[in-house]
């Protein structure tokens, strides 16, 4: 995702807003998203008009923080650019913004970081975001046909996947997991619950991946500016197929810290909103790893393509009753294959193997999850 078209403002100058509020709707190549804010205050100025297409990281509005007067010389920087500055070690105060009213964009931060590095060093990370340019002829999202939107999404997926295969040296590991204990535990848990509170086994898989990442944190990272930047938080992106075709992989924030019940509620909500086209901006930008499950399509093993700038993807295949040797006897067990696709610039097979072993171990005792 490199650009988006502002569809509508949900707030106007003078409105009070608080952290987490949705203030605008944006149409991107991959999905319609809701733009949330990360600070409380008062909307001072809207900088982009509905219909304008702008690069990711463009400052959309100025928000005056609560209790603070307007400061003429104050830095104007988007949360996304601020985060990037922290990741790349750039002091925003030293950056001259090229956006409206001198606002600092991701492109400005990247430009400074690039200049600071050795000249001629190839940037392998995310494609640089261009500075805010005079807006092109505005698109009218509502007038676009579903087919056009689908074609744009396909193009976005094509660009990301081609870049992934071009830049990321993938390696693949797989392991076979006996899901018998996990399914028995889940069945017992669900037996006592009303239908609205039952858990899907997919939630166990997501949580197992998140908890296993604590043991192999280098897989929970993004590749930025020619190096891996480990994320402190674990935000698992879950691949969700869309009804009109295509897919998105929005984040379940702080996945490892959510209970299974919270995860289930949030997962159902995420699927619903993904298919309704109302994901939030942070959900699309924050995943630190992706989980995809194609078992329901009958797939036995998934060899996934890593979604840049992430450095790993975990795939789960179909659960099938298979002959399995347990305590010296051949018994039928529900078996599933878990596969890790990982970036060899960032991790090695040994660490990847430890990660898959941790996923397996956690699924043998789901009460730990």
Partner 1 sequence: MTPNLTTDEIKSLILRILGEIAPEADLASIKPDISFRDQLDIDSVDFLNFAIALHEELRVEIPEADYPKLATLNGCIEYLTAQRQTSQR
Please state, in angstroms and rounded to a whole number, the distance separating the CA atoms of residues 26 and 49. Answer: 11
Candidate residues 40, 98, 135, 190; the one interacting with partner 1 per rule CB under 8 A: 190
Nearest-approach distance from CB 286 to partner 1, in angstroms: 21
Cβ(79)–Cβ(58) under 8 Å? no
Question: Please, which residues bridge with residue 332 across strands?
Answer: 323
Residue among 155 and 187 whose Cβ is closer to partner 1? 187
Count of residues interacting with partner 1 (CB under 8 A): 15
Residue among 48 and 238 whose Cβ is closer to partner 1? 238
Residue among 104 and 199 whose Cβ is closer to partner 1? 199
SS3 state at 323: strand
Determine if 271 is a binding residue for partner 1 (CB under 8 A). yes
Please state, in angstroms and rounded to a whole number, the distance separating the CA atoms of residues 265 and 270. Answer: 9
Residue among 39 and 187 whose Cβ is closer to partner 1? 187
**DSSP class of residue 297?**
G
- Region binding partner 1 by CB under 8 A among candidate stretches 11-19, 92-100, 170-178, 186-194: 186-194
Please state, in angstroms and rounded to a whole number, the distance separating the CA atoms of residues 250 and 87. Answer: 21
Candidate residues 268, 321, 331, 350; the one interacting with partner 1 per rule CB under 8 A: 268
Nearest-approach distance from CB 145 to partner 1, in angstroms: 15
Cβ count within 10 A of residue 328: 5
**In the structure, how many helices (H) and strands (E) does the chain have?**
8, 19
**DSSP class of residue 230?**
E
Which position has the token pair 């606002």? 103
Determine if 277 is a binding residue for partner 1 (CB under 8 A). no
Nearest-approach distance from CB 80 to partner 1, in angstroms: 30
Candidate residues 174, 241, 265, 301; the one interacting with partner 1 per rule CB under 8 A: 241
Determine if 244 is a binding residue for partner 1 (CB under 8 A). yes
Candidate residues 202, 217, 277, 353; the one interacting with partner 1 per rule CB under 8 A: 202
In the region spanning residues 55 to 84, those forming contacts with partner 1, defined by CB under 8 A, are none
The structure tokens listed for 107 are 């492109």
Cβ within 8 Å of residue 98, ≥6 positions away: 105, 107, 108, 131, 132
Question: Please, which residues bridge with residue 238 across strands?
Answer: 291
Residue among 40 and 241 whose Cβ is closer to partner 1? 241
Nearest-approach distance from CB 186 to partner 1, in angstroms: 9
Read out DSSP for 102-153?
G-B-HHHHHHHHHHHSPTTPPP-SSPPPPPPPSP-SPP-GGGS-HHHHHHHH
Nearest-approach distance from CB 318 to partner 1, in angstroms: 12
In the region spanning residues 14 to 43, those forming contacts with partner 1, defined by CB under 8 A, are none
Please state, in angstroms and rounded to a whole number, the distance separating the CA atoms of residues 217 and 355. Answer: 9
Candidate residues 115, 191, 323, 327; the one interacting with partner 1 per rule CB under 8 A: 191
Nearest-approach distance from CB 32 to partner 1, in angstroms: 16
Residue among 9 and 201 whose Cβ is closer to partner 1? 201
Determine if 243 is a binding residue for partner 1 (CB under 8 A). yes
Please state, in angstroms and rounded to a whole number, the distance separating the CA atoms of residues 124 and 288. Answer: 18
Cβ(110)–Cβ(125) under 8 Å? no
Determine if 187 is a binding residue for partner 1 (CB under 8 A). yes
SS3 state at 65: strand
Q: Which residues bind partner 1 (CB under 8 A)?
A: 187, 190-191, 195-196, 198, 200, 202, 241, 243-244, 267-268, 271, 296
């Amino acid at each position: 995702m490199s650009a988006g078209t502002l569809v509508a403002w949900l707030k106007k100058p003078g409105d009070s807003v608080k952290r987490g509020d949705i203030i605008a709707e944006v149409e991107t190549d991959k999905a319609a998203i809701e733009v949330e804010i990360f600070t409380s205050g008062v909307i001072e100025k809207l900088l982009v008009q509905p219909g304008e297409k702008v690069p990711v990281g463009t400052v959309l509005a100025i928000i005056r923080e609560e209790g603070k007067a307007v400061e003429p010389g104050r830095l104007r920087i988007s949360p996304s650019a601020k985060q990037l500055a922290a990741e790349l070690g750039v002091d925003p105060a030293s950056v001259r913004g090229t956006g409206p009213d001198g606002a600092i964009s991701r492109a400005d931060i990247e430009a400074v970081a690039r200049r600071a590095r050795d000249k001629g060093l190839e940037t392998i990370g995310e494609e640089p975001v261009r500075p805010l340019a005079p807006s092109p002829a505005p698109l009218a999202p509502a007038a676009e046909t579903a087919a056009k939107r689908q074609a744009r999404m396909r193009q976005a997926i094509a660009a990301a996947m081609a870049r992934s295969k071009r830049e990321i040296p993938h390696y693949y590991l797989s392991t076979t997991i006996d899901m018998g204990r996990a399914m028995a535990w889940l069945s017992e848990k669900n037996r006592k619950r009303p239908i609205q509170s039952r858990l899907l086994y997919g939630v166990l898989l997501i949580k197992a991946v998140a908890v296993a990442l604590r043991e192999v944190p280098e897989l929970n990272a993004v590749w930025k500016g020619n190096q891996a930047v480990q994320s402190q938080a674990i935000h698992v992106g879950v691949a969700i197929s869309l009804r009109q075709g295509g897919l998105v992989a929005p984040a379940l924030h702080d996945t490892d810290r959510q209970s299974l019940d919270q995860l289930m509620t949030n997962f159902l909500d995420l699927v619903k909103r993904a298919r309704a086209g109302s994901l939030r901006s942070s959900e699309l930008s924050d995943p630190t790893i992706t989980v995809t499950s194609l078992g329901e399509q009958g797939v036995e093993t998934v060899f996934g393509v890593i979604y840049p700038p992430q450095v790993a993807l975990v795939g789960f295949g179909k659960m099938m009753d298979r002959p399995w040797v347990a305590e010296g006897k051949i018994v039928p067990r529900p078996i599933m294959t878990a596969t890790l696709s990982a970036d060899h610039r960032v991790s090695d097979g040994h660490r990847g193997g430890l990660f898959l072993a941790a996923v397996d171990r956690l699924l043998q005792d789901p009460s730990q999850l």
